[in-house]
Amino acid sequence: MAEKHSPLDQFSIHRIFDLKIGEIDVSFTNSSLMMVIILVLLNIFLILATRKKSLVPDKLQSLAEMSYEMIFNTTRDNLGNNGAKFFPFVYSLFMFILLCNLLGLIPYSFTVTSHIIVTFAIAFGIFLFATVLGFILNGHKFLRLFLPKGVPIYLAPLLVPIEIVSYISRPISLAVRLAANMMAGHTMIKVFAGFVVALGVFGIAPFVFIVLLYVLETVIAFLQAYVFAVLTCLYLNDSFHPSH
């Protein structure tokens, strides 16, 4: 038998082109390749879908319109009047994460968002942007975010550190939620695939379970991308109106 395969092999990074800037390794890896493929696919999909601009949309155009409408409603509900300003950002974020999650389900491909460093880079960028925006728009009044209204002053020394910790845990929770969901789902699929081979004839039972797991994983891909987008809108809204 060849070397032992682990269900976690699918998350390993392989370099395709070696590239170094000084001491920093910026090689083109399979993760970068997947991101490039996703961007190209997304652009092709949106350009093709909106080419005809017919009033009664055909199938491809209605796909684009449905995703547009869902994110537009989300930004309008959570951000209010500033919704239209942040819509391109939230839409790009949502579609990128959605395609990252979905394309990782294809066998032998790579899930970009299953690495915490990728999701943490995105989440930390959003967190930094929201905090800086909050301070620019509100000045020192942004710190009112940490003291909810109607709290008696003697409770403040207890409540404010808790609020600060909860605020700082936002990018961490955003990142870990997405990465852990992706990693756990894909690892389960590989583990049950191992069972199919090991059981021989009775491997039909784990196989049916894998089919159901794929359905669940597809739903989770959509759900996690949507939750990421909604929470981004909520955190951005906190920058505009800092009060709990």
Partner 1 sequence: MEIESAKLIGAGLATIGVAGAGVGIGIIFGQYVSGSMRNPAAAPKVFGNVLLGFALTEAVALYALVMAFLIMFG
- Residues at the contact surface with partner 1, assessed by CB under 8 A: 173, 176-177, 180-181, 184, 223-224, 226-227, 230
Cα 66 from chain centroid (whole Å): 19
User: Is the Cβ of residue 46 or residue 230 nearer to partner 1 in the bound state?
Assistant: 230
In whole angstroms, the minimum distance from the beta carbon of 214 to partner 1 comes to 18
What is the rounded CA–CA span in Å between residue 236 and residue 92?
16
In whole angstroms, the minimum distance from the beta carbon of 140 to partner 1 comes to 31
Instruction: Return the H-helix or E-strand segment holding 20.
Output: strand 20-21
Closest CA to 216 of 100, 101, 99, 63: 101
In whole angstroms, the minimum distance from the beta carbon of 2 to partner 1 comes to 23
Beta strand 24-25 with 28-29: parallel, antiparallel or unpaired?
A: unpaired
Handedness of CA 138, 139, 141, 145 (dihedral sign): positive
Tokens 């090991």 -> residue:
198
User: Is the Cβ of residue 99 or residue 174 nearer to partner 1 in the bound state?
Assistant: 174
User: Is the Cβ of residue 41 or residue 216 nearer to partner 1 in the bound state?
Assistant: 216
In whole angstroms, the minimum distance from the beta carbon of 48 to partner 1 comes to 29
User: Is the Cβ of residue 37 or residue 102 nearer to partner 1 in the bound state?
Assistant: 102
Please report how many Cα atoms fall inside a 13 Å half-sphere around the Cα of residue 139, on the Cβ side.
1
